[in-house]
Structure 1
Amino acid sequence: MNLENKTIWITGASSGIGKGLALELSKYPCNLILSSRRKEVLEEVKLLCSNQERIAILPLDLTDFENLKPIAEKAVSCFGKVDILINNGGVSQRSLVIDTDISIDKKLMEIDYLGTIGLSKAILKHFVENKSGHFVTVSSLMGKFSSPYRSGYCGAKHALHGFFDALRMEHEKDHIKVTMICPGFVNTDVAKNALTGDGSKQDSQDKATENGLTVEEFSKRVIKAIQKEKFEAYIGKKEVLGVYLKRFFPKLLHKFVMKSQVR
Structure 2
Amino acid sequence: MSFKDKTIWITGASSGIGEALAREWASRGARIILSGRDESRLSAVAENLGTDSLILPFDVRDDAAMHDAVTKATAWTGNVDVFVANAGISQRSQALKTDMQVYRDIIEIDLTAQIAATQALLPHMAERGSGNLVFISSIAGKVGVPMRTAYCAAKFGLIGYADALRAELSVKGVEVHVIAPGSVATNVSRNALAADGSKRGKSDDVIDNGIPPAEAAKTMVDAIEAGQREIIVARGMEEAMGEMRRTPDQLLDQVAGMVAAGYMEKMEADG
Q: TM-score, normalised by structure 2?
A: 0.88
SS of 1:33's partner is strand
Q: Distance in 1 between matches of 2:16 and 2:244?
A: 28
TM-fit CA distance, 1:75:
0.6
Q: Deviations over 1:58-90 (max 9, x none)?
A: 112111247632221111111111010011110
- Segments of structure 2 that go 5 or more residues without pairing to the other structure are 247-271
Q: Aligned residue for 1:250?
A: none
Contact 2:144/2:152, CA 8 A, preserved across alignment? yes
How far off is 1:49 after superposition?
Answer: 1.4
Distance 1:98 1:174 in 2: 44
Q: Does the CA contact (< 8 Å) of 1:65 and 1:114 recur in 2?
A: no
The match for 1:241 is 240
Cα separation, 2, equivalents of 1:206 and 1:152: 18
- Give runs of aligned pairs for residues 31-180 of structure 1, distance below 5 A: 31-51=31-51, 54-65=52-63, 68-180=66-178
Give the counterpart letter for 1:188 in structure 2: T
Tell me the distance in 1 between the aligned counterparts of 2:89 and 2:227.
25
2:213: which partner in 1? 215
Contact 2:232/2:243, CA 8 A, preserved across alignment: no
Asked if residue 20 in structure 1 is aligned to residue 52 in structure 2, the reply is no
For residues 205 and 243 of structure 1, what CA distance do their matches in structure 2 show? 22
Letter in 2 for 1:30: A
Higher mean C-alpha displacement, 151-160 vs 25-34: 25-34
User: Once the two structures are superposed, what CA deviation does each residue of 1:189-242 show, in whole Å capped at 9, x if it has no partner?
Assistant: 000000011111110011100111001100110110110121111101111101
8 Å CA contact retained: 2:58, 2:65: no
**Equivalent residue letter for 2:171:** K
Alignment partner, residue 226 of structure 2: 228
Deviates more, 1:174-183 or 1:25-34: 25-34
Q: Which residue of 2 aligns with 1:258?
A: none
Q: Residue 259 of structure 1 aligns with which residue? A: none
Question: Partners of 1:60 and 1:205 in 2: how far apart?
Answer: 26
Q: Secondary structure at the match of 2:171?
A: helix
Maintained 8 Å contact 2:134/2:178: yes
1:191 aligns with 2:189: yes
Structure 1 CA distance, aligned partners of 2:197 and 2:213?
26
Distance 2:146 2:233 in 1: 20
Equivalent residue number for residue 267 of structure 2: none
What CA distance in whole angstroms lies between the structure 1 residues aligned with 2:242 and 2:233?
Answer: 11
What is the rounded CA distance, in whole Å, between the counterparts of 2:245 and 2:118 in structure 1?
28
Equivalent position of 2:5 in the other structure? 5
Give the partner amino acid of 2:57.
P
Whether contact under 8 Å (1:66, 1:118) holds in the other structure is no
- Shift of the alpha carbon at 1:28? 1.6
Distance 2:244 2:110 in 1: 25
1:201 to 199, 202, 219: 199
Hey, what's the Cα distance between the residues in 2 that align with 1:33 and 1:137?
16
Cα distance in 2 for residues equivalent to 1:228 and 1:30: 17
- Secondary structure of 2:175's aligned partner: strand
Letter in 1 for 2:107: M
Scaled by the length of structure 1, the TM-score of the pair is 0.91
CA distance in 1, matches of 2:245, 2:30: 38
Amino acid at match of 2:26: S
* Secondary structure of the corresponding residue to residue 81 of structure 1: coil
Percent identical across equivalent pairs? Answer: 38
Is the 8 Å Cα contact of residues 90 and 188 (structure 2) preserved in structure 1? Answer: yes
